[in-house]
Amino acid sequence: MRQDMKEDIHNLIGNQSFGSIEEVQAVLDQYQQQKNEVPVDDFHGLSSEQMHRFLHMPFETPELVTFPPVLKKDPESKAAFILSMLIKEIGEDGLKLTAKGNLGRKFCQQAFEKYQPRYPDPYGLKITIHSETNFEPLHAIRLTAQLAGLVRKYKGRLLLTKKCKKALDRHGLREIYPLLLHAYIRKFNWGYRDGFQEIPFIQQSFLFTLYLLHKYGSKWKPATFYSDSYLRAFPMILQEIEPKMYEPPEDTLQHGYILRTLQRFAGFFGLADLEQISEGPINREYKVRATGLVKEIVHFTLA
Protein backbone atom coordinates (compact mmCIF):
# COMPACT_ATOMS: atom_id res chain seq x y z
CA MET A 1 0.00 0.00 0.00
CA ARG A 2 2.84 2.37 0.87
CA GLN A 3 4.59 1.67 -2.43
CA ASP A 4 1.36 2.27 -4.34
CA MET A 5 0.96 5.63 -2.62
CA LYS A 6 4.52 6.61 -3.53
CA GLU A 7 3.87 5.78 -7.16
CA ASP A 8 0.56 7.67 -7.13
CA ILE A 9 2.17 10.77 -5.66
CA HIS A 10 5.08 10.57 -8.11
CA ASN A 11 2.65 10.37 -11.04
CA LEU A 12 0.59 13.18 -9.56
CA ILE A 13 3.27 15.80 -8.93
CA GLY A 14 6.47 14.44 -10.48
CA ASN A 15 6.02 16.04 -13.89
CA GLN A 16 4.29 19.26 -12.80
CA SER A 17 5.60 22.69 -11.94
CA PHE A 18 4.38 24.47 -8.81
CA GLY A 19 4.72 28.07 -7.77
CA SER A 20 4.83 27.35 -4.03
CA ILE A 21 4.81 24.69 -1.35
CA GLU A 22 1.18 25.60 -0.67
CA GLU A 23 0.20 24.55 -4.21
CA VAL A 24 1.92 21.19 -3.74
CA GLN A 25 0.18 20.73 -0.40
CA ALA A 26 -3.21 21.53 -1.92
CA VAL A 27 -2.73 18.83 -4.57
CA LEU A 28 -1.61 16.31 -1.96
CA ASP A 29 -4.57 17.18 0.29
CA GLN A 30 -6.96 16.60 -2.59
CA TYR A 31 -5.27 13.28 -3.35
CA GLN A 32 -5.56 12.19 0.29
CA GLN A 33 -9.23 13.19 0.42
CA GLN A 34 -9.96 11.15 -2.69
CA LYS A 35 -8.13 8.15 -1.22
CA ASN A 36 -10.12 8.44 2.00
CA GLU A 37 -13.41 8.38 0.07
CA VAL A 38 -12.65 5.19 -1.87
CA PRO A 39 -14.41 2.05 -0.54
CA VAL A 40 -12.01 -0.37 1.17
CA ASP A 41 -12.46 -4.11 0.62
CA ASP A 42 -11.51 -5.00 4.20
CA PHE A 43 -14.10 -2.48 5.43
CA HIS A 44 -16.83 -4.22 3.39
CA GLY A 45 -17.55 -1.19 1.25
CA LEU A 46 -16.91 1.56 3.79
CA SER A 47 -14.30 4.18 3.00
CA SER A 48 -11.51 5.17 5.38
CA GLU A 49 -13.34 8.41 6.12
CA GLN A 50 -16.58 6.59 6.90
CA MET A 51 -14.79 4.11 9.14
CA HIS A 52 -13.12 6.98 10.98
CA ARG A 53 -16.55 8.43 11.72
CA PHE A 54 -17.92 5.02 12.73
CA LEU A 55 -15.17 4.71 15.31
CA HIS A 56 -14.93 8.26 16.66
CA MET A 57 -18.30 9.93 15.95
CA PRO A 58 -20.90 7.15 15.77
CA PHE A 59 -23.67 9.27 17.28
CA GLU A 60 -22.66 12.55 15.63
CA THR A 61 -22.71 11.63 11.92
CA PRO A 62 -26.37 11.76 10.82
CA GLU A 63 -25.39 11.79 7.14
CA LEU A 64 -24.13 8.21 7.60
CA VAL A 65 -26.03 6.73 10.51
CA THR A 66 -28.92 7.66 12.78
CA PHE A 67 -30.39 6.16 15.95
CA PRO A 68 -34.15 6.70 16.22
CA PRO A 69 -35.08 7.87 19.74
CA VAL A 70 -38.33 5.89 19.71
CA LEU A 71 -38.84 2.36 18.36
CA LYS A 72 -41.86 1.35 16.29
CA LYS A 73 -42.81 -1.47 18.66
CA ASP A 74 -41.83 -2.84 22.05
CA PRO A 75 -38.48 -4.67 21.84
CA GLU A 76 -38.12 -8.34 22.71
CA SER A 77 -34.79 -9.40 24.18
CA LYS A 78 -33.08 -10.55 27.34
CA ALA A 79 -32.21 -6.97 28.23
CA ALA A 80 -35.76 -5.73 27.61
CA PHE A 81 -37.25 -8.54 29.68
CA ILE A 82 -35.02 -7.77 32.66
CA LEU A 83 -35.51 -4.02 32.36
CA SER A 84 -39.29 -4.46 32.34
CA MET A 85 -39.16 -6.59 35.50
CA LEU A 86 -36.95 -4.06 37.23
CA ILE A 87 -39.12 -1.06 36.34
CA LYS A 88 -42.28 -2.86 37.42
CA GLU A 89 -40.74 -3.90 40.76
CA ILE A 90 -39.49 -0.38 41.50
CA GLY A 91 -42.92 1.14 40.80
CA GLU A 92 -43.94 4.33 42.52
CA ASP A 93 -42.57 3.48 45.96
CA GLY A 94 -39.09 2.38 44.98
CA LEU A 95 -37.21 -0.82 45.73
CA LYS A 96 -35.32 -1.37 48.97
CA LEU A 97 -31.60 -2.03 48.53
CA THR A 98 -29.16 -4.02 50.64
CA ALA A 99 -26.56 -2.40 52.86
CA LYS A 100 -24.10 -2.69 49.95
CA GLY A 101 -26.51 -0.90 47.65
CA ASN A 102 -27.53 -3.96 45.65
CA LEU A 103 -30.95 -5.34 44.82
CA GLY A 104 -32.46 -7.57 47.50
CA ARG A 105 -32.05 -11.34 47.32
CA LYS A 106 -35.80 -12.05 47.21
CA PHE A 107 -36.37 -9.94 44.10
CA CYS A 108 -33.24 -11.33 42.43
CA GLN A 109 -34.44 -14.88 43.02
CA GLN A 110 -37.95 -14.11 41.73
CA ALA A 111 -36.56 -12.36 38.66
CA PHE A 112 -34.25 -15.28 37.93
CA GLU A 113 -37.13 -17.76 38.23
CA LYS A 114 -39.02 -15.80 35.55
CA TYR A 115 -35.99 -15.27 33.34
CA GLN A 116 -34.47 -18.75 33.37
CA PRO A 117 -37.34 -20.67 31.67
CA ARG A 118 -37.54 -18.03 28.94
CA TYR A 119 -33.78 -17.70 28.42
CA PRO A 120 -32.15 -20.89 29.77
CA ASP A 121 -28.41 -20.92 30.36
CA PRO A 122 -26.72 -22.11 27.13
CA TYR A 123 -24.15 -24.09 29.10
CA GLY A 124 -26.68 -25.84 31.32
CA LEU A 125 -25.18 -24.36 34.47
CA LYS A 126 -27.19 -24.46 37.67
CA ILE A 127 -26.98 -21.09 39.38
CA THR A 128 -28.00 -20.36 42.96
CA ILE A 129 -29.00 -16.75 43.49
CA HIS A 130 -27.78 -15.36 46.81
CA SER A 131 -27.24 -11.77 45.65
CA GLU A 132 -27.60 -9.45 42.67
CA THR A 133 -24.12 -10.28 41.38
CA ASN A 134 -25.06 -13.98 41.10
CA PHE A 135 -27.63 -12.98 38.46
CA GLU A 136 -25.13 -11.27 36.18
CA PRO A 137 -27.54 -10.08 33.44
CA LEU A 138 -29.71 -8.36 36.05
CA HIS A 139 -26.64 -6.78 37.64
CA ALA A 140 -25.54 -5.43 34.23
CA ILE A 141 -28.98 -3.96 33.48
CA ARG A 142 -29.28 -2.32 36.90
CA LEU A 143 -25.88 -0.65 36.49
CA THR A 144 -26.64 0.41 32.92
CA ALA A 145 -30.04 1.81 33.89
CA GLN A 146 -28.29 4.00 36.46
CA LEU A 147 -25.73 5.15 33.88
CA ALA A 148 -28.61 5.98 31.52
CA GLY A 149 -30.29 8.13 34.18
CA LEU A 150 -33.35 5.88 34.32
CA VAL A 151 -33.01 4.89 37.98
CA ARG A 152 -31.24 6.38 40.98
CA LYS A 153 -30.41 5.49 44.54
CA TYR A 154 -31.94 7.56 47.33
CA LYS A 155 -31.92 6.79 51.04
CA GLY A 156 -31.40 3.08 50.59
CA ARG A 157 -33.95 2.64 47.82
CA LEU A 158 -33.82 2.42 44.05
CA LEU A 159 -36.19 4.90 42.39
CA LEU A 160 -37.30 5.71 38.87
CA THR A 161 -36.05 9.10 37.74
CA LYS A 162 -38.26 11.86 36.34
CA LYS A 163 -36.58 11.26 33.00
CA CYS A 164 -37.63 7.62 33.10
CA LYS A 165 -41.20 8.34 34.18
CA LYS A 166 -41.74 10.92 31.44
CA ALA A 167 -40.36 8.56 28.79
CA LEU A 168 -42.58 5.76 30.09
CA ASP A 169 -45.63 8.02 29.92
CA ARG A 170 -44.83 9.06 26.34
CA HIS A 171 -43.86 5.80 24.65
CA GLY A 172 -43.11 3.20 27.31
CA LEU A 173 -40.34 0.74 26.58
CA ARG A 174 -40.10 1.97 22.98
CA GLU A 175 -38.43 5.15 24.25
CA ILE A 176 -36.70 3.71 27.30
CA TYR A 177 -34.87 0.96 25.41
CA PRO A 178 -32.73 3.16 23.12
CA LEU A 179 -31.63 5.13 26.19
CA LEU A 180 -30.53 1.91 27.88
CA LEU A 181 -28.74 0.65 24.77
CA HIS A 182 -26.87 3.90 24.23
CA ALA A 183 -25.72 3.94 27.86
CA TYR A 184 -24.48 0.37 27.47
CA ILE A 185 -22.47 1.44 24.42
CA ARG A 186 -21.12 4.74 25.70
CA LYS A 187 -20.82 4.38 29.47
CA PHE A 188 -20.89 0.75 30.60
CA ASN A 189 -17.55 -1.08 30.52
CA TRP A 190 -18.12 -4.27 28.53
CA GLY A 191 -15.03 -5.84 30.05
CA TYR A 192 -16.69 -5.72 33.48
CA ARG A 193 -18.92 -8.65 32.51
CA ASP A 194 -16.18 -11.19 31.80
CA GLY A 195 -12.66 -12.25 32.68
CA PHE A 196 -11.06 -11.40 29.35
CA GLN A 197 -8.52 -8.66 28.77
CA GLU A 198 -9.85 -5.11 28.58
CA ILE A 199 -9.35 -4.45 24.83
CA PRO A 200 -11.54 -1.28 24.86
CA PHE A 201 -11.39 -1.03 21.05
CA ILE A 202 -13.88 -3.92 20.83
CA GLN A 203 -16.48 -1.67 22.42
CA GLN A 204 -15.43 1.43 20.50
CA SER A 205 -15.97 -0.35 17.17
CA PHE A 206 -19.52 -1.55 17.95
CA LEU A 207 -20.99 0.25 14.93
CA PHE A 208 -18.94 -1.76 12.43
CA THR A 209 -20.52 -4.95 13.78
CA LEU A 210 -24.00 -3.45 13.45
CA TYR A 211 -23.09 -2.48 9.89
CA LEU A 212 -22.04 -6.07 9.16
CA LEU A 213 -25.30 -7.36 10.63
CA HIS A 214 -27.23 -4.96 8.39
CA LYS A 215 -25.23 -6.05 5.35
CA TYR A 216 -25.03 -9.83 5.87
CA GLY A 217 -27.37 -10.69 8.73
CA SER A 218 -30.41 -11.74 6.72
CA LYS A 219 -28.95 -15.28 6.55
CA TRP A 220 -27.32 -17.43 9.19
CA LYS A 221 -23.54 -17.15 9.20
CA PRO A 222 -20.91 -18.61 11.53
CA ALA A 223 -19.89 -16.28 14.32
CA THR A 224 -16.35 -16.62 12.99
CA PHE A 225 -17.45 -14.82 9.81
CA TYR A 226 -17.96 -11.70 11.90
CA SER A 227 -14.84 -12.16 14.03
CA ASP A 228 -12.69 -12.81 10.93
CA SER A 229 -14.17 -9.76 9.18
CA TYR A 230 -13.44 -7.73 12.29
CA LEU A 231 -9.81 -8.82 12.42
CA ARG A 232 -9.26 -8.10 8.71
CA ALA A 233 -10.65 -4.61 9.23
CA PHE A 234 -8.59 -3.91 12.37
CA PRO A 235 -5.44 -6.08 12.32
CA MET A 236 -3.64 -3.55 14.54
CA ILE A 237 -5.85 -4.60 17.45
CA LEU A 238 -3.65 -7.67 17.93
CA GLN A 239 -1.04 -5.32 19.38
CA GLU A 240 -3.37 -4.71 22.32
CA ILE A 241 -3.58 -8.42 23.18
CA GLU A 242 -1.46 -9.58 26.09
CA PRO A 243 0.45 -12.66 24.87
CA LYS A 244 -0.41 -16.07 26.32
CA MET A 245 1.72 -19.18 26.21
CA TYR A 246 -1.19 -21.43 25.34
CA GLU A 247 -3.17 -19.24 22.92
CA PRO A 248 -2.26 -17.09 19.89
CA PRO A 249 -3.53 -13.49 20.01
CA GLU A 250 -5.88 -14.15 17.09
CA ASP A 251 -7.74 -16.76 19.16
CA THR A 252 -7.84 -14.49 22.21
CA LEU A 253 -9.38 -11.73 20.13
CA GLN A 254 -11.89 -14.07 18.52
CA HIS A 255 -13.14 -15.37 21.87
CA GLY A 256 -13.39 -11.89 23.38
CA TYR A 257 -15.11 -10.42 20.33
CA ILE A 258 -17.71 -13.18 20.04
CA LEU A 259 -18.51 -13.04 23.75
CA ARG A 260 -18.63 -9.26 24.18
CA THR A 261 -19.95 -8.05 20.85
CA LEU A 262 -22.08 -10.88 19.48
CA GLN A 263 -23.35 -12.59 22.64
CA ARG A 264 -23.45 -9.92 25.33
CA PHE A 265 -24.18 -6.93 23.11
CA ALA A 266 -26.01 -7.92 19.92
CA GLY A 267 -27.54 -11.09 21.37
CA PHE A 268 -28.33 -9.68 24.80
CA PHE A 269 -30.10 -6.63 23.34
CA GLY A 270 -32.01 -8.63 20.73
CA LEU A 271 -30.12 -7.32 17.71
CA ALA A 272 -29.00 -10.80 16.65
CA ASP A 273 -29.98 -14.41 17.24
CA LEU A 274 -27.23 -16.87 18.17
CA GLU A 275 -27.50 -20.64 18.01
CA GLN A 276 -24.86 -23.07 19.20
CA ILE A 277 -23.65 -25.40 16.43
CA SER A 278 -20.96 -27.39 18.23
CA GLU A 279 -20.58 -29.00 21.64
CA GLY A 280 -16.87 -28.43 22.17
CA PRO A 281 -15.72 -28.69 25.81
CA ILE A 282 -14.17 -25.20 25.78
CA ASN A 283 -14.62 -23.31 22.52
CA ARG A 284 -18.23 -23.61 21.45
CA GLU A 285 -19.17 -22.48 17.96
CA TYR A 286 -22.22 -20.41 17.06
CA LYS A 287 -24.13 -19.22 14.04
CA VAL A 288 -25.52 -15.70 13.92
CA ARG A 289 -28.43 -13.99 12.21
CA ALA A 290 -29.65 -10.40 12.53
CA THR A 291 -33.10 -9.69 13.94
CA GLY A 292 -35.58 -7.09 12.77
CA LEU A 293 -34.78 -5.02 15.84
CA VAL A 294 -31.29 -4.11 14.61
CA LYS A 295 -32.79 -2.19 11.69
CA GLU A 296 -35.04 -0.30 14.09
CA ILE A 297 -32.23 0.54 16.48
CA VAL A 298 -29.88 1.96 13.84
CA HIS A 299 -30.43 3.33 10.33
CA PHE A 300 -27.55 3.50 7.85
CA THR A 301 -27.78 6.09 5.08
CA LEU A 302 -24.58 5.29 3.19
CA ALA A 303 -24.25 6.25 -0.44
Q: What residues contact residue 252 under an 8 Å CB cut-off, 6+ apart? A: 196, 197, 241, 244
117-172: per-residue pLDDT in tens?
999 887 667 889 999 999 999 999 999 999 999 999 999 999 999 999 999 999 99
| Burial of 29 from C-beta contacts in 10 A (0-12 / 13-18 / 19+) | exposed
Range of the domain at 161: 78-188
174-229: per-residue pLDDT in tens?
999 999 999 999 999 999 999 888 899 999 999 999 999 999 999 999 999 999 99
**Residue 147: C-alpha distances to residues 56, 182, 184 (Å):** 21, 10, 8
| Any domain includes 19 | no
286 and 207 together in one domain: yes
178 and 203 together in one domain: no
> The CATH number of the domain where 289 resides is what?
1.10.10
202 and 244 together in one domain: yes
214 and 172 together in one domain: no
- Helices 223-233 + 249-257 axis angle, to 10: 120
pLDDT at 26: 63
Domain boundary among 188, 216, 246: 188
| Any domain includes 46 | no
166 and 241 together in one domain: no
155 and 227 together in one domain: no
110-132: per-residue pLDDT in tens?
999 999 999 988 766 788 999 99
Confidence of residue 241 (pLDDT cuts 50, 70, 90): very high
282 and 211 together in one domain: yes
227 and 206 together in one domain: yes
- Who wins on pLDDT, 220 or 25? 220
CA Rg value for the chain: 23
**Residue 72: C-alpha distances to residues 80, 152, 210, 217, 292 (Å):** 15, 27, 19, 20, 11
**Is there a contact between 268 and 141 (Cβ–Cβ < 8 Å)?**
no
86 and 167 together in one domain: yes
